[in-house]
Amino acid sequence: MLPGIVGSLQANEALKLIAGYGEPLVGRLLTFDAQSTTFSEVKARRDPSCPACGEGAAIPEPGIDDAATPGSDGERDERDLAQAVGA
């Protein structure tokens, strides 16, 4: 049952980012205590030296990427992926 709850929450976050609707959990961490069925939220700060979220991050910010839209050449996605994996 727990994987279904967490999966639904993740799907909901993805839909909010794709649709640009609602307030996604950017900069916040949602925790779920299945034993007591309670949620809590913790603010998360960026670490300037983190390769994923710091200065000069290799992973792009969440959001809709124009290069990933149908009809685009997709070159930007491949370059971003190559940079993120260090290729």
Residues 28 and 52 in one domain: no
Asked if residue 85 and residue 73 are part of one domain, the reply reads yes
Q: Are residues 22 and 56 in the same domain?
A: no
Can you give the residue range of the structural domain that contains 79? 46-87
Structural domains of the chain, count = 2
In tens, the pLDDT along 18-49 reads 999 999 998 899 999 999 999 999 998 888 88
The verdict on 54 and 82 lying in the same domain is yes
Report whether pLDDT(58) > 80: no
Q: What is the pTM of this model?
A: 0.54
Q: What is the mean pLDDT of the chain?
A: 78
Do 56 and 67 reside in the same domain of the chain? yes
DSSP per-residue codes, 14-83 = HHHHHHT-S---TTEEEEEETTTTEEEEEE-PPPTT-TTTSTT-SSPPSS--GGGSTTS--HHHHHHHHH
